[in-house]
């Protein structure tokens, strides 16, 4: 992850447990998150090594310790 303007961008590999991502094997993840109302909100694009690009929207907030 690195800072880009007010948000964070990055790339990783991982598994999103949705039927489409599991079926296509889309495991390369591109992330973009920005702070909004005490959370990080943004998108993840899950891709395979060929032609699949699956968009996901997410929000992250801190869980109480």
Q: What is the pLDDT of residues 44-65, one digit of tens each?
A: 999 997 889 999 999 999 888 7
pTM confidence score: 0.79
Spell out the residues 6+ positions from residue 61 whose beta carbon is closer than 8 angstroms to its own: 38, 39, 40
pLDDT, one tens digit per residue, over 28-46 is 999 999 999 989 999 999 9
Taking residues 12-20, what's their average pLDDT? 94
Q: How many CB atoms lie within 10 A of CB 64?
A: 3
């Amino acid at each position: 992850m690195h800072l880009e303007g007010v948000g964070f961008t990055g790339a990783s590999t991982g598994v999103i447990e949705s039927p489409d991502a599991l079926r296509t094997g889309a495991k390369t993840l591109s992330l973009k998150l920005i702070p909004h109302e005490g959370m990080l909100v943004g998108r993840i694009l899950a891709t395979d090594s060929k032609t699949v690009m699956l968009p996901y929207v997410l929000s992250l907030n801190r869980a109480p310790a």
